Structures are given as C-alpha cells and as structure tokens.
Chain A
Amino acid sequence: MKPRGDYVGALILVAIGAAFSTLSVDYGILGEEARISPGFVPFIVGLLLVVFGAMIGWETWRSRVHATINPTEDDTESESNTDKGARYSTTKSVALIFGLLLIATILAPILGFLLTFSILVFAILAGVEQERLWFSLIISLSIGLLAWLIFYQFMGIRLPLGISAPLIGG
C-alpha cells in the first residue's frame, strides 16, 4: 500500500475531472430537442473522474485506518539501509533517464534525430549503466546506423536532420 501516492493520484483525478466538466459547459451539454452537444461526453466523464477519484481517496483512507487497527507484518516492516541505498540509486537512474530523454527530445530537431538519439543511447550506456566507453560507442553507432538504414533509407521516413544533414546526406 502506498497511501501518499494514492491520495495524490486521487487528487489529480478529481482535479482533471473537475476541469473537464467545468470547461465542457462552454461547449454545450444538450442542444436543440435535447440532442447531445459537444460538451456532453466530456462533462459526463469529468463527473465520473471526480467520483472515481473521490472513491480511490476514500478506499485508501479506509484501508489505512484498517491497517492502523490491525497491523500486518508488511505494514510494520522497515526498509534496511542497504535496501534504501539500492532504492535511492535506481530512483536516481530513472531520474537521469527522464532528464536525458527530455534533453534528447528538445535537441532532436536541432542536432538531427538519429544523431541525438544515438548520443542518448551512448549517454545511458556510459553514464547510467557504467559500461565501457568504446563498447557504448559501438552499440550507439550500430543502432544509429541500423535505424538510418531501416527508417531513413528503406522506409523513406523523413527524420529531422538538423545540423547532421551533411553527415546523413539529406
């Protein structure tokens, strides 16, 4: 059970639902002769999201109360320092990959798609996974070349070339 995450999730769902329902009123809910208007479906699903979000919050609260009254082994077990360290390290890796993906998406139209994402593969292998530099370089170049052959040459997909256009032949 992850109560804090579930409360946040419930809150997000309620907020999204409320936003959809409120904004959909502007598009009209029911039109002439009570015909369905563009706002009808988003209004209804918005309300449903509010209800389901509230239910998730309620269920989380109820299970937490239940866990306080009848604690199980799982509830009382605390994480060891080694586990905490490992968890911190993997969470850091995830954050790093998020960051690298974001940077790659921003840079792809400027540097060129294939070049940017090949660099991304290299950065993940060498930076996050601590592989040897030459090995990371070979893998990233190979995947870049393979993608260039399949997507660019064979399938004719016009990927953004950016400054790597002369290199790729665009």
Chain B
Amino acid sequence: MDFFAHLVTGFGTALSPMNLLYCFIGVLLGTVIGLLPGLGSATGVALLLPLTLNLSPTTALIMLAGIYYGAQYGATITSILIATPGDSASVVTAIDGYPMARQGRAGPALAIGAVSSFVSGIISLILLMALAPVFASLALHFGAPEICALIVLGFTSIVGFSGTSRTKGLAMAALGVAITTIGLDPQSGNARFTFGFINLFGGIGFLPVVIGLFAVAEVLHQVRSGKVEPIRTHFRDMILKREDWRRCRTTICGSGLLGFFIGVLPGAGATLASFLGYDLARHFSKHKDEFGKGAIEGVAASEAANSAAVNGAFVPTLTLGIPGSGTTAVLLGAFIVFGIQPGPLLFTNEPDLVWGLMCSFFIGSAILLLLNLPLVPVFASLLRFRYALIYPCILFLSFIGAYAIENRMWGVWLTLAFGIIGYFMKRYDYPTAPLILGIVLGGMFEKTLIQTSSMGGGDLTIFLNRPIAMVLFALAALILYGPYLAKIYSKIRRASARKA
C-alpha cells in the first residue's frame, strides 16, 4: 500500500507545472548536448549544474535527470546519422544504425532507438521503483571477483563484433586492453609506457579514440570510396513498420532487463550493458547475418540495454550512495551540493524528493519520445544534403568536441591519430568495435583482477570459492565454445545415425 501512496506523491511532485517545465527544458538541452560529439551526459550534467543552483533541490534534480536522458538520445541521433557516437554507450548503436542510415532507413533506426529507449526505460523504472532495495542488496554480493568475471563475459561479445575474421577481432580487443595500460597504474600509481611524456600520464582518453575511430575514419573512408550520393527517401520509408516492431519487441525486453541488471552493478556502466545487450540479441536473432550490416534489432538492443542501464545505475546511487556510472557520480555530487545525503536513509528521510525524481523519469521518458518521434524525419533529412557539404562540418564538430572533453589540445591530437589508425583499420578490414570494447573493459578488468589477487593473497583460485563468478565464467565459456560443441555433437549424432 505504501508503494502506491509513494507513487501518488511522486507523480504529484513530478507533474507540478514548475517541475514539468524544467523536466522539458532539461530533456531539450540534454538532446542538444548529446548531439555534439564528445559531450556525453556526464559532461552535460556537469556543465549545466550551475544553472540549477537557484532552483529547489527536487526541481534541480529533475532537470538534471532530464539532461541525462536527453543527452543519451542526442548521442543516438549522431551515432545513427553520421557514425559519430556522442558518448561511449552509443558506440554500439552506430554498428547497425549507421549502415541502416546509409541504406535510406535512418527514420526507422532513429524511431526504434527512441521507442526502445522508452519501452525499456519504463520496464526498468518499474523495477527501480518496486525492487530498488532488493537489487541494491544483490549488487552488494558483486565484489571484485564477480565484476572481473562479468567483464570476461563482456569480452566474449567480441565474437559478435569481429566481422569476417575472429582473429582480427581478438587482436583488436587485445590492442584495446594494451592501450588502457598506458598511464598511471591503478595499483601503485606509477607511470607505465609514458616515456616521460606528461600528456600520457592521464592515459589515452576513451572519447577522443571513439571520435577518431568512428567519425574521422568514417569520413576519410567515405571520401576514398568516391562520390557519396545524398540519401533521398520517401516519407513512408521514414516511419517504423509493423514488421520492424515485430522483429524488435522481444529484443527490447530481453536486452532491457539485462541492461538494467548490469546498470545496477557499480562501475559496470551503460557501455558494457549496450555491448552485452547487442550480443544477447544477436545470439537469439533469426537474422544473425544482418547484424553489423543494418539489423534493426541491433539498434533496438543497444538502445534498450543502454537506457535500462541508465535507470539501473540509479539503484546504487539512491540506495547505497555509490555511483553506478560516470553521470550518476556527477548527479551524486549534485545531491551533496543541495545538502541531500544519498544512501539507505534517503527513501525514509526524503520520500517526496526520491519518488518525485523517480516519477519524473517516467515523465522525462515520455517527453523525450514525444519530442523526438515527430522530429525523426527532420533529423533523417540531414542525409539529403550532399556528403561533400556534410563531412567538413562533421570534422569541424568532431575536433571541437575532442578539445572540449578535457579542454586541451591533447584530445585533438589523439582524435587525429586514431582517425588515421581507424582509416587503415577500415581499409584492411580490422573491426573497430572490439578495439573499443577492449578500451572500455581493459581498465576495469585490470583493476578488478588486482583487487581479486589482493583478496586471495596472490592466489587467483579465490574465483573457485565465488559461485556467482564461476557461473559467469561458465556462461562465458558456453558462449565461446557452445557453437563448436554443438557442431561436434551434431556430427557425432549424424555419424551414429548413419551407422545405425
């Protein structure tokens, strides 16, 4: 009964005209920020935090959450239209979204992105409201060995992103992990592979690499491939068809649930969720061959997992005071600025704020959908311009975004270097997604491995005493070797049938 009473209070707070207005402004500003390469939700929330200081804490947090949501979708738009992911979590969306756009299906890609974000967002919000304390206690069972095993499971998705050669995919993932070891060592704080070069002390930033590998490399690749024709489509091709929805509905639910659970785990984040959500969808899809070439389920899976993970990240933030992602870390800072202490007592001490905030997520998701769905044909019309006019502007915005990440030229140099590397990778069929996956997971993998090693006093057999970790390892082994075992099994069966 308490739950429904809180829900009524929450919606009462969220639907007040003032909160509704600021939620709308937040979503709108967030979408604009998300459209700019490099400026993800964390930067957006941090940049616009000062604008909310004169508002009441509830209104301010509702607006900041709106920015968070809006930025996620803004990043999706650029991922699909120009292969320039605004933040790390939308990298996977570009894998199928961009080929869809080049095939004249930018409209359905953008629409399914918005719809799947909305649907999985709603599912995960219900879970967040009803079961936040349960998930929080579950997350507490995830120590370093379990997170390490989860990351190993994340690495298995390389198989799905490797394209024509699995060896190249594995090599790129290893290269990604190697790149994360440049900079200060997480254990001792000593510099590794920096050669006295001060810029390398902070490591190689993720976003400049992504902008270089995706945006710059794609531009150069398109220029090399010759005259790129503008994409002119009819209005009817820009809307989502029943068949598209039929193909995606189970994917949205499955990847959404997985995304939410990964989002709950502190530090795992929406990027890992989108990679794993995509891989899950690929495994169970009837159209496996289309993945990576413009499968609508690929976009739906990535966006559903990403959006659900965003909500999942609020579980440890609100209930334990531990940020579940980079952006919730900034939001946690905002809580403290407003004199609110997140943690187990937050639900008891500030019910109006917590339930108002959670209900505003519903409102924010709905506003986002209502705002963006009618604009899909407008966004998609961008591709009607000649590519010769678009790409210099993409380069301009990419480099300015690369500078804005850390306000220094180092990001620009990295973007240029990885743009060149990415161009040659495309030319010689080296897949970029495993490299990104390696960079996303490499740092986390090393950190959790070191922590596990310390927990076991140097003995890594500690994994054997952790049932959750063992289940995750078994799942990883099943994903990697399952298809081979199934082939061997069917061969044996066929041979024995012939004998009989």
* A17-65 contacts to B (CB < 8 Å): 17, 20, 23-24, 27, 30-42, 45-46, 48-49, 52-53, 55-56, 59
Q: Does A41 contact B428, Cβ atoms closer than 8 Å?
A: no
Contact assessment for A105 and B413 in the assembled complex, using a CB-CB cutoff below 8 Å: yes
The residue in B181, B409, B413 that gathers the most chain A C-beta atoms within 10 A of its C-beta is B181
| Contact present for A45 and B223 (CB under 8 Å) | no
Contact of A34 among B167, B174, B458 (CB under 8 A): B458
Mark interface residues in A67-108 (1 if CB within 8 Å of B CB, else 0).
000000000000000000010001101100110011011001
Q: Which residues on B sit within 8 Å (CB–CB) of A113?
A: 400, 403
Which one of B94-102, B317-325, B446-454, B466-474 contacts A?
B446-454
Taking CB atoms, residues of chain B closer than 8 Å to A109 are 409
In contact, B404 and A42 (Cβ under 8 angstroms): no
**A residues less than 8 Å from B395 (CB atoms):** 97, 101, 120-121, 124
CB <8 Å contact, B404 and A151: yes
A165 adjacent to chain B (CB < 8 Å): no
Give the interface size class of chain A. 35 or more
Q: How far is the CA of A17 from the CA of B170 in the complex (A)?
A: 13
**Nearest chain A CB to B175's CB is how many angstroms away?**
6
B174 touches A48 (CB 8 A): yes
Residues in B with CB closer than 8 Å to A121 are 392-393, 395-396
Tell me whether B1 is interfacial, beta carbon within 8 Å: no
**Chain A residue with minimal CB distance to B171?**
A52
Pick from A36, A49, A52, A118: contact of B453, CB below 8 A. A36
Chain A interface secondary structure, helix, strand, loop or mixed?
helix
Interface membership of B419, Cβ < 8 A: yes
B192 pairs with A108, CB closer than 8 A = no
Give Cα A108–Cα B399 distance, bound, in whole angstroms. Answer: 11
- Residues 389-431 of chain B: 1 if any A CB is under 8 Å from the residue's CB, otherwise 0? 1011101110110011001010011001001100110011110
- Expressed in whole angstroms, the minimum distance between the Cβ of A159 and any Cβ of chain B is 7
User: Does chain B have a CB within 8 A of A66?
Assistant: no
Write out the residue numbers on chain B whose beta carbons fall within 8 Å of the beta carbon of A11: none
Query: Considering residues A5, A36, A93, which has the most beta carbons from chain B within 10 angstroms of its beta carbon?
Result: A36
Inter-chain contacts of B47 with A (CB < 8 A): 155-156
The total of chain B residues at the interface (CB under 8 A) is: 62
Q: Are the CB atoms of A38 and B177 closer together than 8 Å?
A: no
User: Which segment, of B182-190, B230-238, B287-295, faces chain A?
Assistant: B182-190
Contact of B454 among A16, A35, A147 (CB under 8 A): A35
Contacts known (A117-B396, A159-B403); A35 close to B458, Cβ less than 8 A: yes
Task: Choose among A5, A27, A94, A108 the residue that contacts B412 (Cβ–Cβ < 8 A).
Answer: A108
Q: Do B168 and A56 touch across chains, with their CB atoms under 8 A apart?
A: yes
A32-B453 Cα distance, complex, nearest whole Å: 11
A111 an interface residue at 8 Å Cβ cutoff? no
| B225 on interface, CB distance cutoff 8 Å | yes
Report A126-155 residues with CB < 8 Å from chain B CB. 128-129, 131, 139-140, 143-144, 147, 150-151, 155
Q: Which residues of A lie under 8 Å from residue B393 when comparing CB positions? A: 121, 139, 143
**What is the bound-complex CA distance between A144 and B395, given in angstroms?**
12
Given contact pairs A124-B392, A147-B396, A105 touches B175 in the complex (Cβ within 8 A): no
Enumerate chain B residues within 8 angstroms of A105, measured Cβ to Cβ: 399, 409, 412-413, 416
B400 close to A147 (CB less than 8 A): yes
A-facing residues in B209-259 (Cβ within 8 Å): 216, 219-220, 223-226
Instruction: State the CA gap A53–B178 with chains docked (Å).
Output: 14
Q: A42-B178, A45-B174, A143-B396 are in contact. Are A35 and B457 (CB under 8 A)?
A: yes
State whether B223 touches A49 (Cβ < 8 A).
no
Closest B residue to A156 using CB positions: B47
Question: Which 5 pairs from chain A and chain B are nearest by CB?
Answer: A52-B171, A33-B458, A34-B458, A38-B185, A35-B458
- Between-chain CB contacts (< 8 Å), 17 pairs: A36-B187, A38-B185, A38-B192, A41-B445, A45-B177, A49-B175, A49-B178, A52-B168, A59-B165, A90-B225, A91-B224, A108-B409, A113-B403, A129-B388, A147-B400, A151-B36, A157-B407
Known A38-B192, A144-B396; 14 more pairs at CB < 8 Å: A20-B181, A31-B458, A38-B190, A39-B192, A41-B442, A41-B445, A55-B171, A98-B420, A102-B416, A105-B399, A120-B396, A139-B392, A147-B397, A155-B404
> What residues of chain A have their CB less than 8 Å away from a CB belonging to chain B?
2, 5-6, 9, 13, 16-17, 20, 23-24, 27, 30-42, 45-46, 48-49, 52-53, 55-56, 59, 86, 90-91, 93-94, 97-98, 101-102, 104-105, 108-109, 113-114, 117-118, 120-121, 124-125, 128-129, 131, 139-140, 143-144, 147, 150-151, 155-160
